[in-house]
Chain A
Amino acid sequence: MDQLLINQGPPLLSILIFLPIAGAFFMLLVNNEDFARYWTLAVTSLTAVLSLPVLFGFDRSTAVFQFVEKHTWIESLNINYIVGVDGISVLLLLMTTFIMPFCVLASWTYIKSRVQAFMICLLIMEAAMVGVFVALDFVLFYILWEAMLIPMYMLIGIWGGPRKIYASVKFFLYTLAGSVLLLVAIIWLYFENNSSFFIPDMMWNGYSSMAQMLIFLAFFLAFAIKVPMFPFHTWLPAAHVEAPTAGSVILASILLKMGTYGFLRFALPMAPEATVTLMPFVLWLSIAGIIYGGFTALAQSDMKKLIAYSSVGHMGFVTLGIFVLNQSGIEGAILQMVNHGITTGALFLCVGMIYERTHSRELKSATGVGQYMPVFVTFLGFFSLSSFAFPGTNSFVGEFMILAGAFEHSIPLALAAIPGAVLAAAYMLRMLQKVVWGGTDNPDQSWLKDLNVREIVTLSPFLFFVFWIGLSPQPFINLMRVSVTNLMNDFNAYSNGAMAVAEAIIR
């Protein structure tokens, strides 16, 4: 247990998990829609505020897990309730807690039926998502990972668009089928580790090559579907398009990150040799995703679909960063996970705002709204710039670091990824051009109202972070630096020189 800093103060992480659940239970008692909205906003905001002490108290100088709490849970199997954060998860945790209040705000008028049930789903979702990022017991992780499917299924299936049933069932089946073998792998690891589900115990254990390969493949299926990596992405556009705005934001900003987080937290430390062996395969899948996502996004006429496919491309960059297996790539990948959460989340919020006004997500019906909604297009413009990694915005820093890592790894690989960046500029500018200037063939839209205060409040923090990370990324990188360095050191030590061999082959 020497790699843990046991929490001495109040049980912060547990509060972040259980506060939303308690809030959801309390909401069952009061049957009032307006109350449900204000109450959920209050609970999610309080959760966000309470996550700040985690940030301020976080010790950047160590790679160990911090704020650790441990309680016995299921004694007979040595399953414990253990939570903690390190440099890899702390940013993702904060992003989760901070995005939730805005999801509530985005649903304020958008959700008209069964408001209470919707808010309960959001709160349970939040608890599970926070839990996934802080769980240090593999069973706890798996339970929360799967439990998340239920509220998300409800969010899409009840409050979604016209093809909601198809989308929700597809989402559920894909992700569940993907993680079934993950469970088997977890139990197998349990016996390999003297009957312990404790994640730090499972890392860096030098499993046999064959075992590593099987572990990696089981993990890969689960995480690649969640990311989603090309060609496991087919559930994503459907789910994104049909989900209500808050659902899309949660999916894009947080749920997709769980796949890449899973790679970093489990696949790399538990199967380092297999990671090196399969690395070229994963890298080229990432490249394929980047290019494919870019071209497909270019062809979309539905704005939500466009952003959904752009996510496939952006997440391709993240997996690229992870699997080039060097400091710069992984730091860039973690930063880009956060960036994508901010930028794509904000873009989905924007589309939701247009949809609330025009009841269409088609590009052509949003053509030219810019002249009536100047504030809105200002926001949209900045987020689009961020999406295609315009210098000065957050994504630029992330993509730059990833590409730097890719160059360090292999030049052809980095060159292959570059068209993705160009494509991103193409489809984003195409959307922006239509929305801001548009044509004259559109019906009269002078009745459109610009953003109200609630909507400006919803979007502003996203914009703030776009530029903060874009202009001064160092504080964010500092949060993860030691953990990533440590990860890389251990990785190089445990991949048994396989890395050097692989590098030699690639060069």
Chain B
Amino acid sequence: MLFLPELTLLGAGLVFFALSLGNHPCDTIRNVAITLFAIVLATTLATVNMTGGLFYDAFRVDLFSQTFKVLIVLATLIVVVFTDTMPGVSAKYKAEYYIFLSMSVLGLMMLVSSVELLAIFVALELSSFAVYIMVPMRSTEHGSKAQMEAGIKYLLFGVAATGFMLFGMSYLFGLTGSTRLDVIITQLSTMYTQPVVVIAVALVLSGFFYKLALFPFHFWVPDIYQGASNETTAFIAAVPKIAAVAMLTRFVILAGDTGQVMVNLLMVCAVASMFYGNLSALVQKDLKRMLGFSGIAHAGFVLVGLLTFKITGYTAALYYITGYVFMNLACFLVICSVSKDGTNLAIEDLSGLYKRAPLLALTLTIGLFSLAGIPPFVGFTGKFMLLVNALKEDYLLLVVLAAINTAIAIYYYLSVVRLAFCTDTEDRGQVQTSFLTNAASVLLIICIIVMGILPSQFLNLAQSSISVIM
């Protein structure tokens, strides 16, 4: 039973494999996909309160892992629902695409449960390699080969980052003689004064920095966001980041007592991420690129919570990333719905959106205002929680810099809202959306508002799930 969600997902992968052998219409494949991911979500929800270990305890099932799994599957389901017929993915690969999608999700789910270095490595690679293949699956109808370049870049940078991580893991193993996180934690507690601990943990963190797109491991973001199809980008922009935060939390806890050096290191990464992401986003013309850069800035924000090394800070980071996933998905929902033929959208293409699709315009507006950190949306509450926790640790400068970044970011978010809501340019024709897409829109809007106004329930859940691994 403990492995049920993963098994269901594996089964789903096999179904997609079977589908890929035949020649099925897109609609069938998509309906199957939605059904299967809904089943996976149901099984994951069913296992939320279970605890236990598997595979010689390399695989832990507890509230922490299951909370993250629910988020991962929920986000994936939303992506599958709103990407509709997946115009951006080459027609002959639709079923194959879902195979790799489910494999990637499987990897991420295993990742958040892994408590052993090699299991972590294998799970991370499983999730990564599936995505490396999804990126070049983009339809070539528009004559662009950018997806090939993007796929290769993603692969090369990814492999390099994993290399760093393996290197760090080898240090951890060398220091403690074990690959099990619980043993490592106890062993490390006597060695925090050694600089090599900081180096080891920092190297391991870099692998997850890469997934989270945090400075200085952000290089891949703009090109991959732009080169991959809208559907793939929606997935990359949201789902792996959930797992990345989960793993960062695990390893930051490892580094708990390394002291000021680690804090300074993370602080520099956080501030650099925020400024680099926001300043670069200011000048973007391509919507996905802009969201990519803004994602780098948000990764910096998440780190503000983690570097407090307190459970309340981790809770705030988890809350923030959950909110980020919803608001980011809201934006990508609009991108995928407006770009009917799967091409990239320039920011300009959104002008007058309120006339062409009022609900999409509302979704986009709420998503962007939330990303910008305007109350009463979840983006504000999340930032607020992070800043409170950072200030509690007396990181006043960090908080001020983060606050200034909020002000910078508002400019580019606002310019998109302005185009979508306030311009009356020539009509580009109505945007038709399916019932399911509309439902996903409404769901995301509700999540963004309700999580923002009434965060208590979620914070409690997040706190109790993180306390499991402390």
Contacts and interface: CB of A to CB of B under 8 A. Distances in A.
Interface in A70-115: 73-77
Nearest to A190: B388
A447 B403 CA distance: 55
Interface string A140-160: 001110110110011001100
Contacts of B384: 139, 183, 187
A180 B422 contact: no
A501 interface: no
Interface string A169-190: 1001100110011011001101
B465 interface: no
B145 interface: no
A464 interface: no
A191 interface: yes
Most buried by A among B374, B385, B396, B411: B374
B388 A187 contact: yes
Nearest to A160: B422
Given A143-B376, A176-B407, A180-B406, A157 B388 contact: no
A301 B167 CA distance: 72
Contacts of B380: 143, 146
B369 interface: yes
Contact of B387 (A76, A168, A187): A187
A164 interface: yes
A414 interface: no
B460 interface: yes
Nearest to B394: A191
Contact of A181 (B315, B375, B400): B400
A451 interface: no
B463 A184 contact: no
B379 to A, nearest CB: 11
A173 B411 contact: yes
Contacts of A75: 456
Nearest to A147: B375
Contacts of B456: 73-76
Given A154-B421, A172-B410, A180-B403, A191 B375 contact: no
Contact of A191 (B385, B391, B414, B463): B391
B92 interface: no
Interface in B437-470: 455-456, 459-460, 463
Given A73-B456, A180-B403, A173 B388 contact: no
Nearest to B410: A176
A153 B413 CA distance: 13
A77 B312 CA distance: 10
Interface in B347-392: 369, 374-376, 380, 384-385, 387-388, 391-392
Contacts of A188: 391, 396
A169 B421 CA distance: 12
Contacts, number: 82
Contacts of A165: 418, 422-423
Contact of B414 (A146, A173, A187): A173
B404 A180 contact: yes
B399 interface: yes
A168 B407 contact: no
A143 B375 contact: yes
Given A157-B418, A168-B418, A177-B407, A150 B374 contact: yes
B388 A77 contact: yes
Contacts of B388: 77, 187, 190
A187 B422 contact: no
Interface in A305-362: none
Interface string A271-311: 00000000000000000000000000000000000000000
Contact of A173 (B410, B422, B455): B410
Nearest to A72: B456
A323 B388 CA distance: 31
A359 B29 CA distance: 57
B213 to A, nearest CB: 24
Contacts of B399: 184, 187
Contacts of B422: 154, 157-158, 164-165, 168
A449 B422 CA distance: 32
Contacts of B404: 180
Nearest to A172: B414
Contacts of A168: 418, 422
Nearest to B452: A143
Contacts of A187: 384, 387-388, 391, 399
Interface of A: 73-77, 139, 142-144, 146-147, 149-150, 153-154, 157-158, 164-165, 168-169, 172-173, 176-177, 180-181, 183-184, 187-188, 190-191
Interface of B: 312, 315, 369, 374-376, 380, 384-385, 387-388, 391-392, 396, 399-400, 403-404, 406-407, 410-411, 414-415, 417-418, 421-423, 455-456, 459-460, 463
What 8 pairs between A and B have smallest CB-CB spacing? A157-B422, A143-B375, A177-B407, A180-B403, A180-B407, A146-B375, A147-B375, A187-B391
Given A74-B455, A173-B410, A187-B387, 8 more contacts: A139-B384, A157-B418, A158-B421, A169-B414, A172-B410, A180-B403, A187-B391, A190-B388
21 contacts: A73-B456, A74-B455, A76-B315, A76-B456, A76-B463, A142-B375, A146-B380, A153-B414, A154-B422, A157-B418, A164-B422, A165-B418, A165-B422, A165-B423, A172-B410, A176-B410, A177-B410, A181-B400, A184-B387, A184-B391, A187-B391
